[in-house]
Structure 1
Amino acid sequence: MFTRIAAPLMIAALAAPAVADVNVYSYRQPDLIAPLTEAFTKDTGINVNVVFLNKGMVERLKAEGDLSPADLIFTVDISRLLEAVNAGLTQSVSSPVLEENIPPAFRDPEGHWFGVTARARIVYASKERVKDEEVTTYEALAEPQWKGRICTRSGSHSYTLGLLGAMIVRHGEAEAEEWMKGIKANLARKPEGSDRSQVKAIWAGECDISLGNNYYMVAMLKDDEQKEWAESVRIMFPHFENGGTHMNISGVSMTKSAPNRDEALQMMEWLSSDHAQKIYAEIVGEYPVEPGVPPSDLVKSFGAFEPDTTPLTEIGAARPAALKIVERIGFDD
């Protein structure tokens, strides 16, 4: 799917990039990044060509090789960024601007990836059927009190694997597997659908809690149909035992072949700016990574929490082990 942001898109634009263009391969939905790319073009005069991909970004970049028109990749979850890095498809970027705006916890020491927003993996809880103090730790979600009360999306989804990866880093594979078995035993239904559809299931009385990303609440409150689902739940911030709330990122990397390197670097730096971070905060509902930019008032109203400090690179590296656990226990069966 080709999506043109800020000007009419011609497929030829990716085959032979024009001056002052940036070509982006994105796993992020077009409607989420359109406000950013449009603002970037307005601020800089640089056009942005976006190819939205549902899957297969690494395979596509490998097939295109040095002739790839892509300058940047946008994606969610540290594991997906590391997949591209480990495949040798990115290049190191050195930028004082990026180093000043993005804390070390949210960027690669070697400059191959940079987080541009953070998201918390939270619990959506029924206002009617879940008490304020009932949700505590992620570990406790595997306890019998939650039997038949949990909804979640597929175990093989990157969001689920990210949380399980963090559990592996903190507790080891054996304990993480037992935890995942406990979650499976507590499911109210077979894993299916998106984070939003889990909230719909809570609203419909199919389950009491679900795991989700915080920003979906913002999106649901803006949707006439989904607003009723959102208003049936409240956000709760579980934490790891002796740790904080699980965090992940949406991020950007420069491709190894980037034909428009200067413009691509300009866009990366712009994404870390106060202006871009405020757009992310207000429109998308994610947490800015730039320390000087606060979350939106709506996101602040969800409550305060202590972010977990488990290194993102370790979480991403645990993804293969996490996937094996999901497959071994038949989590989605």
Structure 2
Amino acid sequence: MRSVRRFLPSFVAALAAALPLVSQAEENVLNLYSARHYQTDEALYDNFTKATGIKIKRVDADDAGILARLKSEGSASPADVILLVDAARLWRAEVDGLFQPARDKLLESRIPANLRSKDTGEGSQWFGFSTRARIVVYNKQVVSRDDVDTYEELADPKNRGKLCTRSGSHPYNLSLFGAMMEHLGPPRTEAWLKGLVDNMARPPKGGDTDQIKAVASGECAIALTNSYYLARLMRSDKAEDKATVEQIAVVMPNQATTGTHVNIAGGAVARYAKNRAAAVRFLEYLASDAAQSYFANGNNEWPAVANLKIANPALDKLGSFKAESVPISVIGMNQVKVQQMLDRVGYK
């Protein structure tokens, strides 16, 4: 947390300059439903309040819990802004009518078209504010990089008994698998998923950090993880985290073909938002240079705003890479079929 504290003074100053104080006529409370569970985001929210005078009343849950709550609450929902951490869940919420469009010149100029929902004439319904890659980590003592530099190879018999993952039904994996279905088609995707199951070193369990540590400890030799989990360990001062990073290497898969799978964290104005002006102001804040830099420096995510200079040694070390270009809506639509495949092949 020392690095976060060092970052706060310049962050507050930059944010205050970027966002003028709200008028007395604007609502001074924002009801936020957030699936972001990162401790460093506390300062992100606090500094929005300091810069704008808008207080944040937050409800925390995972993506599925937030969507279920919104459906249950209906028009009585107090939610003004929704933050989700998976592209397919953003798409699902849009399809289910849980968002309202926002026609906003600042957001449209700052957030690239491929990182926001399609504009149907009234504006985009959701906007991506940060990105993360689904990468491969491996034990460099026992695995050759050439054997794990594509997602497809993770299912190859040469990697039998080496793979660790979290649950196949977790949104981070479902989005990757939905993208793979677009690349491979349904029959080959199901065969690939069966190959992943056959190559498991142990049943799926834990989160992404657990997969990285399992590779370092020798429990398995290959794992999938979101990039920011690895970057967090790379920046840690703890001796055990340093030892973990020393034991592993990383691959950005499919650089010679389709590119590495990239997911987003994004936000939207809730369908029944009572404080729409405050909601749009908050989304604009998330697109500011100060907040975008905080996503990078605070939680090790790549900013959505293009060409923004960041100061994160871990992200710098991961380097630039080719990202895949599968439309987010396609990934979302593919997930129902993917889940059925997971059930058939026994991917828990």
* TM-score, normalized by the shorter chain, greater than 0.5: yes
Q: What does residue 329 of structure 1 align with?
A: 345
Q: What does residue 220 of structure 1 align with?
A: 233
Matches of 2:38 and 2:275 in 1, distance apart?
21
Tell me the alpha carbon deviations over residues 286-313 of structure 1, each in whole angstroms, 9 at most, x when there is no partner: 1111002145232110233101111111
- Which of 144, 148, 163 aligns to 2:157? It is 144
1:85 pairs with 2:98: no
Q: What does residue 264 of structure 1 align with?
A: 279
Is the CA contact 1:203–1:229 (under 8 Å) kept in the aligned structure 2? yes
- Which of 112, 115, 132 aligns to 1:106? It is 115
Q: What does residue 274 of structure 1 align with?
A: 289
1:223 Cα deviation from its structure 2 partner: 6.5
1:213 Cα deviation from its structure 2 partner: 0.4
Q: What does residue 25 of structure 1 align with?
A: 33
Within-5 A mapping of 1:1-333: 19-54=27-62, 55-110=64-119, 111-221=124-234, 222=236, 224=238, 225-239=240-254, 242-295=257-310, 296-332=312-348
Is the CA contact 1:147–1:187 (under 8 Å) kept in the aligned structure 2? yes
Taking a change above 3 Å as real, the CA distance of residues 223 and 191 of structure 1, as seen in their structure-2 partners, is farther
- 2:47 alignment partner AA: A
1:218 Cα deviation from its structure 2 partner: 2.5
Give the CA RMSD over aligned residues.
1.7
Is the CA contact 1:35–1:279 (under 8 Å) kept in the aligned structure 2? no
Matches of 2:237 and 2:96 in 1, distance apart?
39
Q: Which moved more, 1:48-57 or 1:208-217?
A: 48-57
1:127 Cα deviation from its structure 2 partner: 2.8
Tell me the alpha carbon deviations over residues 179-221 of structure 1, each in whole angstroms, 9 at most, x when there is no partner: 1011111111111110111111112211111000000013224
Give the TM-score of the pair, scaled to structure 1.
Answer: 0.90
1:241 Cα deviation from its structure 2 partner: 6.6
Is the CA contact 1:41–1:48 (under 8 Å) kept in the aligned structure 2? yes
- 2:201 alignment partner AA: A
Which blocks of at least 5 consecutive residues in structure 2 are unaligned? 1-25
- 1:88 alignment partner AA: G
Matches of 1:88 and 1:223 in 2, distance apart?
44
Taking a change above 3 Å as real, the CA distance of residues 330 and 60 of structure 1, as seen in their structure-2 partners, is same
Is the CA contact 2:261–2:324 (under 8 Å) kept in the aligned structure 1? yes
- 2:96 alignment partner AA: A
Which blocks of at least 5 consecutive residues in structure 1 are unaligned? 1-17
Taking a change above 3 Å as real, the CA distance of residues 324 and 240 of structure 1, as seen in their structure-2 partners, is farther
1:32 Cα deviation from its structure 2 partner: 4.1
Matches of 1:286 and 1:81 in 2, distance apart?
18
Matches of 2:98 and 2:268 in 1, distance apart?
9
Q: Which moved more, 1:107-116 or 1:33-42?
A: 33-42
SS at match of 2:99: coil
SS at match of 1:48: strand
1:74 Cα deviation from its structure 2 partner: 0.8
Structure with the bigger percentage of helix: 2
1:21 Cα deviation from its structure 2 partner: 1.4
Matches of 2:138 and 2:309 in 1, distance apart?
25
Structure 1 stretches of at least 4 aligned residues deviating more than 6 Å after TM superposition: none
Is the CA contact 2:81–2:268 (under 8 Å) kept in the aligned structure 1? yes
Pairs aligned (count)? 315
Matches of 1:30 and 1:211 in 2, distance apart?
20
Tell me the alpha carbon deviations over residues 140-189 of structure 1, each in whole angstroms, 9 at most, x when there is no partner: 21111111111001111111111110011112111110110111111111
1:240 Cα deviation from its structure 2 partner: 7.0
Is the CA contact 2:30–2:275 (under 8 Å) kept in the aligned structure 1? yes
Q: Which moved more, 1:22-31 or 1:214-223?
A: 214-223
